[in-house]
Amino acid sequence: MNPLFRMHPDGTASRASRVFGLVLLVAVAVFLAVALVISPPDSGPNASENSMGDLVRIMYVHVPVAVACYTAFFVTAVASVAYLVRRSEGWDLLAAASAEVGVVFTVLTLATGSVWGHIAWGTWWEWDPRLTSTLLMLIVYIGYLALRGAVLDPVVRARRAAVVGLVAFANVPIVHYSVDWWRGIHQPATISRLDPTIDGLKLFALMFGMLVAIAVYVWLMVHRFRLEFVRARLEEQGLDTALAERRAEAETASGANPVTAPKGAS
């Protein structure tokens, strides 16, 4: 088998991550039961002023995935700083993995919010400060990933990505506080305040959802980080393999003289 395609013998999983994955699967199932069935709809005598009915349940997914994307980008920023200080490959790979997982969570945040907005507000999309800044955050982190794909030298890539990974985080607090700083259609904070405006089973479902989303983030990160690590090894191996192949080619092509001045090198 071509050494390029020989993967890490254990793939990206370990015994611990498998157990974690199983526990997480059960937790997700229990969470869905709490969010979709056990927690009360926002109607009847205990309804809030919004009286959202079953629509309130989308919050138990929307807010947790948003918290997960903040967490992911925070980890990218911290890992970027750590890389700039320590210059060790691990921090760079951690930053990259977290940014990618964060992008997935950001897309989920925008998608779930859009569905919620379509029904509650009456529009799929609005150029509201929260929505606009979130979209900008998504674009910036996609740019971060594109930058990583555009630089071939691993050391140059790591350095540039670390600077972008750090600078990009400046937008995250803007996203969070946009609902307080500017007027918009999006509601202000419900839980990240001194007097949360949610209680009972609704609060439990929301907190449980956030715990599950963070756990899903961690699980994804375990695998994504290992994959990134294996890819870095493959990249190194790929260079050696290319060297060996080109050398073999050169030897067969020019017979006795393997080291010839390459064409187009000047």
Partner 1 sequence: MDVNTDGPDDRDLEDGGLDLTPRTPPAGAAVGRTRSMRRWGAVGVLVGLVAVVAFVAVQARGASLYYRNADEAVAQRESLGRDRFRLQGVVVGESVDDGNAKVFQVAYRGVSVTVRHTGKEPALFKPGLPVVAEGSWNAAGTEFDSDRLLVKHTEDYKKADTGDYEQQHPDRVPANDADSDTDPTQAPSRGERPDAS
Distance CA 153, CA 44 (A): 61
List residues near partner 1 by CB under 8 A. 42, 45-52, 55-56, 59, 119-123, 126-129, 132-133, 135-136, 139, 143, 146, 150, 180, 182-185, 187-190, 195, 197-199, 202, 239-240, 242-244, 246-247, 250, 259, 261-265
Q: Judged by CB, which is closer to partner 1: 14, or 254?
A: 254
Q: Judged by CB, which is closer to partner 1: 131, or 221?
A: 131
Q: Judged by CB, which is closer to partner 1: 84, or 142?
A: 142
CB of 82 to partner 1, least distance (A): 27
User: Which residue matches tokens 């990259």?
Assistant: 96
CB of 181 to partner 1, least distance (A): 8
Q: Judged by CB, which is closer to partner 1: 11, or 188?
A: 188
Q: Judged by CB, which is closer to partner 1: 139, or 230?
A: 139
CB of 145 to partner 1, least distance (A): 13
CB of 231 to partner 1, least distance (A): 19
CB of 219 to partner 1, least distance (A): 29
CB of 126 to partner 1, least distance (A): 7
Q: Judged by CB, which is closer to partner 1: 60, or 83?
A: 60
Backbone angles phi, psi at 262, to 5 degrees: -65, 145
